[in-house]
């Protein structure tokens, strides 16, 4: 067993506790939470004490690209469409061994930032393999690309093959999903085929959606840099005369049964937000990445008014330079308990994991982090965690 005490404990679902403690049982579950004087350590239990620390639920990062960790600082391109092309070129030049090391480095960086659960999208499978190898928690969404409708069957077959290869790595702590990348990289036919496949197999779905003005122009008018790139490959581009969200709605792929995680959602209006809510979708809000790429600011307040589930994500370190999820809360203008809830239980809810993690409740998995300040409302200069625990196991600190 493991007993962790701290100068301040924030369960999220209950009032904060001065000089509190958490007891973790042999199954990696939370057995007790309360004032330190009332949480006794059984004989033989390991005891960790942080009198000047704050103990919180483990942070939940709702959007990462762990396989790109090795590319941090290497893409200085500013125009978004060209930035994406540069990333693809860098990925094409990397080896499986590089992706493996990169993903492992990304997992460890997340743990150092107090993150205990990640929702990762990638094309190599390396993030899921790294999480399984290191004992991490998360959802890995296997990406699929295919803007040419004539090659829909080929793209779907590649996705099915990847899911079949990675499926044995899935567990109670690791889930496998699929990600039809974005409206400018996936055809109508492939969106429908992937959605049908996900429904049959019970796989969660993530999609980059309404991220950039270039994407909106592509969907609405059939013009812009994304359209130019496809037309140069001989692929016909049609104007849809609607927003990216409405486009997926018209395709009939925003289905409640697949629990779509919609990443970014910057270029949206009230009608789009209502469509996302009615579809039962969740949003991964990545404010720093959106700022870096000049996309604008996602309407977080409007999402909340509509009752959408919203979590925070760092996106890739190529965009933001680090794995500091607390910096995302700051960039989103969130403070105090609101920031903590969004970083923890709201992120877990966005991923459908709030019955397992996201708060310090007896019976939940012991995912938690300790930071170097007893005052939650006065964050330390560094967001590096003193301790990170996943399912009762110390993974950092």
183 Rama sector, left if φ>0, alpha if ψ -120 to 50, beta otherwise: alpha
What percentage of residues in the chain have a pLDDT greater than 90?
93
Query: Residue 352: is its pLDDT beyond 80?
Result: yes
Beta strands in 241-380 (DSSP E): 261-264, 282-285, 309-312, 368-371
Per-residue model confidence as pLDDT tens digits over 229-258 = 999 999 999 999 999 999 999 999 987 767
Q: Tell me 377's DSSP state.
A: T
Mean pLDDT score of the chain? 95
Q: How many CB atoms lie within 10 A of CB 26?
A: 10
Locate 287 and state its tokens: 């404010």
| Model pLDDT, residue 259 | 79
Locate 192 and state its tokens: 């429908």
- pLDDT tier, 77 (very low <50, low <70, confident <90, very high otherwise): confident
Looking at the chain, the domain(s) classified CATH 3.20.20.140 span 59-350
Helix/strand/coil for 186: strand
| Model pLDDT, residue 247 | 98
- Measured CA to CA, the distance from residue 249 to residue 239 in angstroms comes to 16
Lowest mean pLDDT among 22-26, 71-75, 269-273: 71-75
Per-residue model confidence as pLDDT tens digits over 167-208 = 999 999 999 999 999 999 999 999 999 999 999 999 999 999
- pLDDT tier, 377 (very low <50, low <70, confident <90, very high otherwise): low
Superfamily of domain 2-57+360-396: Urease, subunit C, domain 1 (2.30.40.10)
- pLDDT tier, 373 (very low <50, low <70, confident <90, very high otherwise): confident
- pLDDT tier, 361 (very low <50, low <70, confident <90, very high otherwise): very high
- Measured CA to CA, the distance from residue 48 to residue 32 in angstroms comes to 15
H/E element, 302: helix 300-306
| Model pLDDT, residue 257 | 67
- Measured CA to CA, the distance from residue 263 to residue 288 in angstroms comes to 13
Residues 6+ apart with CB under 8 A from 334: 342
| Model pLDDT, residue 265 | 98
Query: Residue 379: is its pLDDT beyond 70?
Result: no
Locate 206 and state its tokens: 């993530």
Contact present, 64 and 58 (Cβ < 8 Å): no
CATH class of the domain at 59-350:
alpha beta
Per-residue model confidence as pLDDT tens digits over 272-328 = 999 999 999 999 999 999 999 999 999 999 999 999 999 999 999 999 999 999 999
Query: Residue 213: is its pLDDT beyond 60?
Result: yes
Query: Residue 380: is its pLDDT beyond 70?
Result: no
- Measured CA to CA, the distance from residue 134 to residue 121 in angstroms comes to 18
- pLDDT tier, 378 (very low <50, low <70, confident <90, very high otherwise): low
Looking at the chain, the domain(s) classified CATH 2.30.40.10 span 2-57+360-396
- Measured CA to CA, the distance from residue 154 to residue 198 in angstroms comes to 17
Beta strands in the chain (DSSP E): 2-9, 17-24, 30-35, 46-57, 59-64, 115-122, 138-144, 174-180, 206-209, 261-264, 282-285, 309-312, 368-371, 387-390, 393-396
| Model pLDDT, residue 374 | 58
């Amino acid at each position: 067993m493991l007993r962790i005490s701290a100068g301040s404990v924030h369960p999220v679902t209950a009032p904060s506790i001065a000089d509190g403690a958490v007891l973790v049982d042999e199954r990696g579950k939370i057995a007790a939470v309360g004032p330190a004087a009332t949480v006794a350590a059984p004989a033989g239990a390991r005891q960790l004490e942080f009198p000047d620390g704050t103990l919180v639920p483990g942070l939940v990062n709702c959007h990462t690209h762990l396989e790109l960790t090795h590319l941090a600082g290497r893409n200085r391109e500013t125009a978004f469409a060209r930035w994406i092309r540069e990333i693809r070129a860098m990925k094409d030049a990397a080896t499986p061994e590089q992706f493996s090391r990169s993903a492992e480095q990304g997992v460890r960086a997340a743990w150092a930032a107090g993150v205990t659960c990640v929702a990762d999208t990638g094309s190599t499978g390396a993030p899921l393999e790294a999480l399984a190898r290191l004992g991490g928690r998360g959802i890995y969404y296997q990406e699929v690309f295919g803007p040419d409708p004539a090659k829909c069957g080929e793209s779907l077959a590649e996705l099915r093959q990847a899911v079949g290869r990675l499926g044995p790595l899935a567990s109670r702590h690791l889930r496998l999903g699929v990600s039809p990348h974005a409206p400018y990289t996936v055809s109508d036919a492939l969106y429908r085929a992937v959605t049908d496949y996900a429904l049959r197999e019970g796989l969660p779905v993530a999609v980059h959606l309404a991220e950039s003005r270039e994407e909106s122009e592509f969907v609405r008018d059939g013009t812009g840099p994304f359209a130019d790139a496809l037309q140069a490959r001989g692929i016909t581009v049609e104007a849809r005369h609607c927003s990216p969200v409405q486009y997926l709605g018209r395709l009939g792929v925003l289905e409640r049964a697949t629990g779509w995680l919609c990443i970014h959602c910057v270029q949206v209006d009230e009608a789009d937000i209502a469509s996302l809510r009615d579809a039962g979708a969740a949003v991964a809000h990545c404010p720093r990445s959106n700022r870096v790429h000049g996309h604008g600011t996602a309407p977080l307040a409007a999402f909340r008014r509509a009752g959408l589930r919203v979590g925070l994500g760092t996106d890739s370190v190529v965009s933001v330079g680090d794995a500091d999820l607390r910096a995302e809360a700051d960039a989103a203008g969130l403070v105090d308990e609101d920031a903590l809830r969004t970083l923890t239980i709201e992120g877990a809810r966005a991923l459908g994991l709030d019955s397992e993690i996201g708060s310090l409740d007896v019976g939940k998995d012991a995912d938690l982090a300790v930071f170097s300040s007893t005052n939650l409302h006065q964050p330390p200069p560094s967001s590096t965690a003193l301790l990170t625990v996943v399912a009762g196991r110390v993974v950092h600190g």
